[in-house]
Amino acid sequence: MILGVVYSLATPPLEASDEFKHYPYVQYVQTHHELPVLDLETCLATSDECPWLQDGGQPPLYYIVMAAATSWIDTSDLPTLRRMNWHAFIGDPSQVCNKNLVIHLPEREAFPWRGSVLAIHLIRLLTLGFGAGTVVLTCLLARDLFPGRSDVALGAAALTAFTPMFLFVNSAVNNDALAAFLGCLDLLLMVRLVRDGLEGPLPLRRYGMVGLVTGLFLLAKLSGLAALIFLAFLLSWVALRRRSPRPLLVGFPIVVGIAAAMSGWWFLRNWRLYGDPTALNVFVAIQGVRPGVPTVRDWWDEFRTFRWTYWGLFGAVDVMAPRWFYTLCDLFTLVAFLSLLRRRALRTSHLALRAIPFLWFAILFISVLRWTWIYFSFQGRLVFPGIAGISTLLVAGVLAWVPPRFRPRASVAIGLTFFVIAAAIPFAVIRPAYVLPEPLTLADVPAEARVEPVDVGGGIRVVGWAFTPQAVRPGEAVELVVYWEAVAPDGGDYIGFARLLGRRHELAGDVNRRPACGMVPTDLWRPGQVWRDPYR
């Protein structure tokens, strides 16, 4: 909880994962007391009238809860707070600055918070409660899968709690946090359903509880449909092992019936409005599709993004942790996976139960692959509905290589390592990406960078640039710095551009964005200010 608050304070409003779309959905429900309707023509034409974009078609539970929690706040200032930086380097962590999705005014976002800023911080705090619940579920699941192994339970709970991306998502306005909590709760209940179902008949209320949670899951994220499919498979297996059709013919209809009673109204609404119970037809139409079939190289490159966005890739998928962190996480995963190949690890009476979180992860992973086939969305945070099982299996796999008497210490070491990294990231990685540049004066421009002023219109001129002559190969970066002076700015919001020309003056690369690192638009410049502007 403490680390989550730190992550929340380090991330400016609307800069967390898709928060610029999720919060307008909440705010619309709060102010209109109804769900938004996705109008394809409006959403494709202007984001001002459709600020939630495709996410307005997401299941509504999270947004209804948060709208109720913030109903007492006047959030009419959202349009002025949500001034978008449409040239942000979304999905490109290799670029310098210009990470911000929104133009920020410190005086409007400073404490004491008010209006939409207050609502966003309150929702972030409430969302963090779902994350804390997921940590508890991880501990409970680990105890069920590895009875008597407190080292696994402690290590798994710590790994979930201190995974930087998990902290980032759960300290944001984002329905993925509720989906992760309900997905992990569903997983825990399914494990217990299989465990107890193999021993004898289960009371009907046990199926009813799973149906209740699955219904809530469906109203939080469409991943709930995958949970229903997986549950059908598990109950079929239990029925086969017990040689009794009761789990499948009695238990599964109870689960489906309760889940449908809770969530069916939303699917019927979508069918009536969009002709698709899931609303994916308009979701995809607004989001867009890939221009072609992904190649093997595409899959490999995006699998790297999948790993990074599971462990920690922040902002608009453009703020990276240090590279060594991803290498460390890859090695940690590899060591855990290799333990599954050891024969001794497979000799256990709990093998069937331990396969359940692995299969649940596999189903979530395949669903992400399917979605990535449609659009560029291979993001690891989308499998967080299974993070309780993932953390448990990873820690158990790593500890399998450690002699039993050293396992408690190894578990603590795992937790402390990830804690230290997670605690440092807000200060070393996230916050620096959003520090506003300070204006300079002409005297601050280095002598070697000064040039005869060049008027570029709008009352702005170039007074210097820094560039090192160099030989470069395709794929290598070229960096330069431009110094702009606001002489008599006319109040226009201008875009700066840099173009790199190669042999025969062919275009080799270009950058288009607002000057001053994309963070201070030219309509906010004052006469006499000089802005240092790096480009890559």
Amino acid identity for residue 101 in this structure:
L
CB 181 within 8 A of CB 65: no
How far apart, in whole angstroms, are the C-alpha atoms of residue 449 and residue 484? 12
Give φ, ψ of 99 to 5 degrees. -85, -20
pLDDT tens track, the chain, 536 positions: 999 999 999 999 999 989 999 999 999 999 999 999 999 888 888 778 899 999 999 999 999 999 999 999 999 999 999 999 989 998 888 888 999 999 999 999 999 999 999 999 999 999 999 999 999 999 999 999 999 999 999 999 999 999 999 999 999 999 999 999 999 999 999 999 999 988 888 899 999 999 999 999 999 999 999 999 999 999 999 999 888 888 889 999 999 999 999 999 999 999 999 999 999 999 989 988 888 787 888 888 888 889 999 999 999 999 999 999 999 999 999 999 998 777 555 455 567 888 999 999 999 999 988 888 887 777 899 999 999 999 999 999 999 999 999 999 999 999 999 999 999 999 999 999 999 999 999 999 999 999 999 999 999 999 999 998 888 888 888 999 999 999 999 999 999 989 999 889 999 889 999 999 999 999 999 999 999 999 99
The CA distance from 519 to 99, in Å, is 9
Q: What confidence score (pLDDT) does residue 8 get?
A: 97
Q: How far is CA 21 from CA 48, 393, 431, 454, in A?
A: 11, 34, 21, 40
pTM, rounded to two decimals: 0.94
pLDDT number for residue 350: 65
The pLDDT of residue 290 is 82
**Residue-level pLDDT at 347:** 53
Nearest to 478 by CA among 469, 489, 487: 469
**How confident is the model at residue 449, as a pLDDT?**
94
The pLDDT value given to residue 518: 93
What pLDDT does 74 receive? 96
State the pLDDT at residue 247.
86
Q: What is the 3-state secondary structure (H, E, C) of 486-536?
A: ECCCCCCCCCEEEEEECHHHCEEEEEEECCHHHCCCHHHCCCCCEEEEEEC
Task: Say what the pLDDT of residue 253 is.
Answer: 95
Helices within 88-197 (DSSP H only): 106-109, 115-145, 150-161, 164-170, 176-197
Among 420, 415, 421, residue whose Cα is nearest residue 321? 421
CB distance 99 to 536 below 8 Å? no
Q: How many CB atoms lie within 10 A of CB 443?
A: 6
- What is the reported pLDDT for 475? 82
Distance CA 105, CA 142 (A): 45
**Does residue 188 contact residue 357 with C-beta atoms inside 8 Å?**
no
pLDDT at 134: 98
The Cα-based distances of 364 to 164, 227, 367, 387, 510 in angstroms read: 20, 9, 5, 11, 37
Considering only CA atoms, which of 512, 516, 446 is closest in space to residue 486?
516
